[in-house]
Structure 1
Amino acid sequence: MNRPRLFLITPPEFDAGEMAAKLEQAFAGGDIACVMIYMPGAGTKEIQAAAQVLVPVIQQGGAAAIIYRDTQAAGRSGADGVHVDTSLEDVKLAVESFHPDRIVGTGGTKLRHEAMELAETGVDYIFFGKLDLAEKENAHAKTLSSAAWWAELFSTPCVALAGNTIETLEEVVATAADFIALKDALWQSGGDIASLVSQANRILDAHPFPEDSQDG
C-alpha cells in the first residue's frame, strides 16, 4: 500500500479486556499497520499479562504487535517486535536478539545525528515524537520537521506522532512519514473508535507517496 499507514499506541494505563474490545473496534474501521502496547510504568509480569490478551487481537486484525521497551515480555508473549528507546547500546542488543524474525523500532531522540546512529543499527523504523508528553490538538513542530527531514533523505521507515485529533493527520501526512501514530486521538476523544479509524484512513488514502519516494 503506497501511502502512509496507521500506527496505534495504547494509553499508558488500561484494563486489558476493555482495551482488547477497543482494539477490535479500531480494526473494524480499516487498515492499521502496527499497535504499540505502551505501559511505561509497568513491570515485565504486568506487561506480559496484558500482551497475552492484546497480541492475539492485534495479530488477528492484521497488524504487528509491538511491546514498548520490555524485550522479555515481547519475546514471551509472541509479539511481533519491541520498541527500545533507552540507549544506543540497548537498541543494538535488541537488534541482535530479535532480528531477522521480529521488528525492532526506536525513537525518542532530539538530535538528528543520534537518529542517524540509531538507524545504522539496522532498526526497522525511527519514531519521531515524545510519547510521555501531553498531546496537544496539533502535532509538535519538532516532530513534523524531523519526520519531513527524515522521509526525504533516508530509507529507514519513520513514524510521526500526530496530535490528539483526527484532523491533525492532515498536517502530519504532509511530512511523507511512512507511518502516522495516533494515541489520544482515538482513546480520549469519546467518539466511535471504528468511525475515527475509518476517517483517518480516508485522509491517508488521499495522500499517496510520490512514486520516487523512499517509503521503505
Structure 2
Amino acid sequence: MSDLTPRLYLVSPIITDVEAFAPQLAAACEVGDIAAVLLRLATSDERAAIKQVKALAPIAQNQGAAVIVAGTPVVAVRGGADGVHLTGSGSADEIEAAREALDTMKPERIVGIGGLRSKHDAMVAGEMDVDYVMFGEPLLNATLPPFSQVVERAAWWAEIFSVPCVAFAPTLEDVTPLAETGVEFVAVGEAIWSAPEGPAKAVACALGALSSAEVPQR
C-alpha cells in the first residue's frame, strides 16, 4: 500500500437499534485500517442521539477510526464524536448551518459535507474550510445518484482541489474504480452491513480492493 492509497470510510445504516448494530460495528472496525465511521441515527431526539453516540463511538475510536455523526454539532460534541457530517445542497439555511458548525467544531473536530447536488455546491463547500466533501452517499430516502456521475465528480475534484474527497461505493465492486480516481477516501455502507459473509469479511474485501487499486500519481 502506497501513501496515495485511499483509506476506507464506513457509512452506517440508519441506526434504529444500537444494541443490534454495536457488534456489527465492532466486527468491522477490528479488521484493519479504517479512517472514519459515519453514524447515521434514526432518532431526532437530541438526548437520545447523544446517548447512542456515547455507546457506539468508543467501539470505532478504540480501533483508531474517527467517528463522525450525521446531524448537529451538539450531538457530535456531547456524544464524544470526532466530527459532524452535514448536507450542503446550496440552500442559504444549509450554508449558514455549515458555517455555524465550523465555528463550533474547528479546529478540534472534523466537519465534512455531503449531499452535494452540483459541482457549484461542492466548490462552495470547499471554500468554507471543511475537512472533506463527500460525493454519492445515500440520502435519508435511500436513493443514490448515478454511479457514473459519482466517478466523474470524484475524479474532477481529486484532480483540481486540495480539500480531501470521500466517494461512496454502493457495492464492493465499485471500490476499485473510485479508488482509481485519486480520492483520499472511499466510503462503503450497506455493502458492508448487509454482506452475506458478514461485515468483517466485507471490510477485508474493501481494504484489499483499495490496496490493489492503480492510484493516479498527483
TM-score of the pair, normalised by structure 2: 0.89
The aligned counterpart of 2:81 is 79
The yes-or-no answer on 1:6 pairing with 2:17 is: no
1:47-70: CA deviation from partner (whole Å, max 9, x where unpaired): 212101111111101000001022
Q: CA RMSD in A?
A: 1.9
The aligned counterpart of 2:128 is 121
The SS at the match of 1:25 is helix
CA contact (8 A) 2:113 2:134 kept: yes
What is the one-letter code of the residue matched to 2:184?
Answer: D
Question: Percent identity between the aligned chains?
Answer: 35
The aligned counterpart of 2:114 is 107
1:24-173 alignment, distance < 5 Å: 24-39=26-41, 42-85=44-87, 87-132=94-139, 134=142, 140-163=147-170, 165-173=171-179
CA distance in 1, matches of 2:201, 2:60: 18
The SS at the match of 1:194 is helix
Larger strand proportion of the pair: 2
The SS at the match of 1:10 is strand
Shift of 1:139: 6.5
The aligned counterpart of 1:192 is 198
CA contact (8 A) 2:25 2:59 kept: yes
CA distance in 1, matches of 2:49, 2:138: 17
The yes-or-no answer on 1:176 pairing with 2:176 is: no
Which consecutive residues of structure 2, in runs of 5 or more, have no partner in the other structure?
A: 89-93
CA distance in 1, matches of 2:214, 2:128: 29
The SS at the match of 2:87 is coil
What is the one-letter code of the residue matched to 2:128?
Answer: T
The aligned counterpart of 1:22 is 24
The verdict on how the C-alpha distance between 1:139 and 1:177 changes in structure 2, with shifts beyond 3 A counting, is: farther
CA distance in 2, matches of 1:175, 1:123: 21
CA contact (8 A) 1:107 1:126 kept: yes
The verdict on how the C-alpha distance between 1:56 and 1:191 changes in structure 2, with shifts beyond 3 A counting, is: same
1:76-122: CA deviation from partner (whole Å, max 9, x where unpaired): 01110001115111111111111110000002121112211111110
The SS at the match of 1:12 is strand
Residue range with higher mean Cα deviation, 97-106 or 110-119: 110-119
CA distance in 1, matches of 2:16, 2:151: 28
Shift of 1:208: 5.9
The aligned counterpart of 2:91 is none
CA distance in 2, matches of 1:194, 1:48: 26
TM-score of the pair, normalised by structure 1: 0.90
Shift of 1:153: 0.4
Shift of 1:194: 1.1
